[in-house]
Amino acid sequence: MIYFDYSATTPVDRRVSELMTEINEEVFGNPSSVHLFGQKARGYVERARQQLCTAVGCDPTEIIFNGSGSEANNIILHTLLYGEKRHVVLSAIEHPSIYNAVKELEPLGISHTIVDVDDTGRVDPDEVSAAIRDDTGLVSIMMVNNELGTVEPMAQIANICKEQKIAFHSDGVQALGKIPVDVKNLGVTSMSFAAHKLYGPKGVGVLYLAGGEELHPLIAGGSQENGRRAGTENVAGISGFGLAAELAAVEVHDEMERLSHLRNIFVSNLKENRPEVMINGHSSETVPGVVSLSIPGVSAEKLVMKLDMDGFALSAGAACASGSPKPSRVLKAIGLSDELNRQTIRISFGRFTTAEEVDSLLNALLKHIPIAEAETAT
Amino acid sequence: MSKREKVLVAMSGGVDSSVALHLLVEHGYDAVGVTMKLWNSRDENGNLVNDSYCCSLEAVNNAKLVCEAADVPHYTLDFRGDFREKVVNNFTTEYLRGRTPNPCIRCNSDVRWNALLEYADDLGIEWIATGHYARIDISQPDRPTIQKGLDSHKDQSYVLWRVKREELSRTLFPLGNLTKPKVRKIAREANLTTADVAESQEICFVPNDNYRTFIESESAAENGLNGSGKFVTPEGKTVAEHRGISHYTVGQRRGLGISGAEPVYVQVIEPDSGDITVAPRQSMFFSGCSLKDLNWHIDETDLDIVNELTVLIRYNHEGVSCKIERNRDGTAEVRFDEAQFAVAPGQSAVFYDGDRLLGGGIITEGFLNEETTIGQGEINE
């Protein structure tokens, strides 16, 4: 079985899992405890916080550990309930943890405006600007789209928000580890991350919050994370995230080059053999490891099943959309017809993907994509 | 090593299909499990609309667990659109026309078999299998035959008559030779998660087993077809008002709200006038019925040489000897050797020769027995 679904999740890097095993076996203290057991655990949590800070370029007080990227997104949206400005601007291709969370907040008085994207999945910053109202309290635009790999025009959106003095949140879950992320350069006021997308464990998220401000916690209780997220810290998970972020930051440039190369070979070979195949997303503003493919006449659902049975793991549309019949909202937003939507698969490469694996995937795909009938010349 | 034969197994998340999969794997098949999502167990607001186990997240997850434990791939297939269009809409329409449909039969023939074969073809899989209690003989691949399941209490061949004969040649029923207690025992011994899942008898998409409320909500948009009307005697005398024909089924006694010296039953429902004829028990016997939509699992030329033609006019009916007269337009008339209680239009008349399923049709009209005889086979209420 070969894995081509790194955008859904990643295997835990051995270096990370070794550290986590060590912590699980030897460091059981509660980081809030005064005694040596607690001190030891606290050390691991704070070391991880520093690693995250180095990886994304912020201060330790600006990192809030929590349970997932989805939780981090929910924490930020939830703060709107306590402010004067109760309108949020988001893109049509946000992750469900923004998109659906906004809908959940609607009956509580949080209104929203959805900004469309172009056929590559890019938001037009002018449209963001136009969507901002007097009562807009937040702009939430993801940095990298999970289904397409498209990178959004972060700097321009950040400038607009800065000029208008509006908070700019970005879901960075699909960005960290794949491309460099420097929160200060990006100009975001908050950003969310998840460990499992960068070879760390599942169930650990981070919210970066500029200035390390106080906020109304989504999960109230003890004073963990400076009172911003209650619950005894997941010490091993947090440490795993710290190391995973450190490793990713060190390796990101080489990985980008390697994965771009693999992707280019794969796409050009595929196009050469099956010219009718369409590549979705942006040609240059994209993370290197993600390929969204529309194959006219081929059911993505069945193709994913066949490839699974052949030993290749990948997704139809996005992983979260699998098993549901609804065409992907993201693919709809870039203008794909419902038919083409159901003929779209997502392949994502990662740290352990080799050239040989990509080659065997190509052969498997060619086996299942019939050669389009050539126009008969008379 | 010879290449193992592949089979696509329809997994409902219940004990029967789990054991079917288990047995196929034990017999060396290369199995793939699929669960068809046919119906929403929650509405748009996320509220449970159905207390049915069928199609629930729990059922799908249980199917996945059974497959995972057997090291077999499992996929969920979405057939909600087809099911709604071909089964549920028909169910509502039939009731609104005063008929008593059997949605499970229609689901098998119009949704499940097509779907399973389509996916099997696409995935390069030779066989399909389900957990039905019926036996199938495919030793002559072009002339497959179904026999009743060995467990006479559980026999499900009745719901298979409408499946096209040619679609059976690739079908396996691993439970045909087993009894339900034996199936439970196998499930427990194999430690299958679903070993103790309760039997489901209700119609999977009808909440709380209350089809009347369901029809009402489904037909609310459909301009009052379900309006009330009159209960009349066979002589044409009005005895009471009723709540709308979809609330009643031929043979029904309870809930009519008619008091009198002797109990009365629904004898005939007239969808056009809205009249429902009610009659005492001795007037509830039918000498035969007319049929449409016939489907045969036997060469029609062989029908005339069947030893003893028996027909079942409802699920769990014990059957009655009969004669059939087929018409050129694909309809038929059946004469029972002994008059039968309550023949309900919309139900399936299913023919057997001994244990062998021959085919069936949908009842369009029951022929009231001219003499008042006390016949056999009252509906258990």
* B80 interaction partners in chain A (CB closer than 8 Å): 325
B33 and B11 Cβ atoms separated by less than 8 Å = yes
Where helices occur in chain A by DSSP H, the ranges are 14-26, 36-56, 69-79, 96-105, 125-131, 154-163, 183-186, 224-227, 235-273, 300-310, 329-333, 338-341, 355-368
Q: Let me know if B204 is a catalytic residue.
A: yes
B positions 92-151 inside 8 Å of A (CB): 119, 122-124
Asked if residue A292 belongs to a domain, the reply is yes
Q: Residue A83: is its pLDDT beyond 60?
A: yes
Dihedral sign of CA atoms A370, A372, A373, A377 in order: negative
Measure CA A373 to chain center: 38
Per-residue H/E/C for B154-215: CCCHHHHCCCCHHHHCCEECCCCCCCHHHHHHHHHHCCCCCCCCCCCCCCCCCHHHCHHHHH
Interchain proximity B80–A325, CB inside 8 Å: yes
Q: Is A117 among the domain residues?
A: no
Q: In the prediction, which pLDDT does B217 show? A: 82
For A198-249, write each residue's pLDDT tens digit.
999 999 999 999 999 889 999 999 999 999 999 999 999 999 999 999 999 9
Q: Is residue A174 part of a domain?
A: no
In a domain, residue A49? The reply is no
Put simply, the answer to whether A325 touches B78 (Cβ < 8 Å) is yes
C-beta atoms of B75 and A306 within 8 A: no
* pLDDT at residue B41 is higher than 70: no
Which one of A53, A58, A161, A320 is the catalytic residue?
Answer: A320
Which residues of chain B neighbour A305 with C-beta distances below 8 Å? 73, 75, 119, 123
Structural domain boundaries in chain B: 6-208, 227-282, 284-368
Q: How far apart are CA A360 and CA B3, in angstroms?
A: 22
| B76 at A interface, C-beta within 8 A | yes
ipTM: 0.86
Q: Greater confidence, B118 or A373?
A: B118
Q: Which pLDDT does position A320 carry in this prediction? A: 43
pLDDT tens digits for range A280-328 = 999 999 999 999 999 999 999 999 999 999 999 999 964 444 444 578 9
Average pLDDT for chain B: 89
Q: Which domain holds residue A349?
A: 2-8+252-367
Q: How far apart are CA B351 and CA B360, in angstroms?
A: 6
Is the per-residue pLDDT at B227 higher than 70? no
Q: How many domains would you assign to chain A?
A: 1
Q: Phi and psi (nearest 5°) for B40?
A: -80, 125
CA distance A318 to chain B (A): 16
Task: For chain B, positions 79-98, list CB contacts with chain A under 8 A.
Answer: 80-81
Contact check, Cβ <8 Å, B122/A325: no
- The amino acid present at A98, given as its one-letter code, is I
What number of other Cβ atoms are within 10 A of residue A72's Cβ? 29
Tell me which chain A residues have a C-beta less than 8 angstroms from the C-beta of B122.
Answer: 299, 302, 306
A357 lies in some domain: yes
Query: CB distance B76–A305 less than 8 Å?
Result: no
User: What is the token pair recorded at B71?
Assistant: 């090291």
pLDDT the model gives residue A371: 86
- Which of the following is catalytic: B55, B67, B104, B204? B204
pLDDT (tens digit, 9 = 90+) per residue, B60-93?
A: 899 999 999 999 999 999 898 899 999 999 999 9
- CATH assignment of the domain containing A339: 3.90.1150.10
Q: Does B107 participate in catalysis according to the annotation? A: yes
Class (C level, CATH) for B227-282: mainly beta
Distance from the B332 Cα atom to the nearest Cα atom in chain A, whole angstroms: 41
User: How far is the CA of B376 from the CAs of A162, B287, B319, B373, in angstroms?
Assistant: 85, 12, 10, 9
How far apart (Å, rounded) are the C-alpha atoms in residues A27 and A42? Answer: 10
Fold exhibited by the domain B284-368: Elongation Factor Tu (Ef-tu); domain 3 (2.40.30)
pLDDT one-digit tens code per residue, A26-56: 999 999 999 999 999 999 999 999 999 999 9
Ordered strands of the A111-115 beta sheet: A63-66, A205-209, A190-194, A167-171, A136-140, A87-91, A111-115
C-beta atoms of A302 and B122 within 8 A: yes
In degrees, rounded to 5, the angle at the alpha carbon of residue A49 between the alpha carbons of residues A143 and A250 is: 60
Q: Are A31 and A45 in contact (CB under 8 A)?
A: yes
pLDDT in tens, B85-128: 999 999 999 999 999 999 999 999 999 999 999 999 999 999 99
Closest residue in A to B36 (Cα) is A323
Whether A309 sits inside 8 A of B119 (CB atoms) is no
Report pLDDT digits (tens) over B337-355. 999 999 999 999 999 999 9
Mean pLDDT for chain A overall: 95
∠ CA A345-A322-B59, nearest 5°, is 155
What CATH fold (topology level) applies to the domain B6-208?
Answer: Rossmann fold (3.40.50)
Which pLDDT band holds residue A378 (cuts at 50, 70, 90)? very low
| Per-residue pLDDT tens digits for A112-148 | 999 999 999 999 999 999 999 999 999 999 999 999 9
- One DSSP character per residue, A162-225 reads HHTT-EEEEE-TTTBTTB---HHHHT-SEEEEEGGGGTS-TT-EEEEEGGG-----SS-SS-HH
B125-151 confidence digits (pLDDT tens): 999 999 999 999 988 888 999 999 999
Of B289, B294, B278, B270, residue with least CA distance to B237: B278
Residues of chain A positioned with their CB less than 8 A from the CB of B123: 302, 305-306, 309
Question: Looking at chain B, which residue has its C-alpha nearest residue A103?
Answer: B45
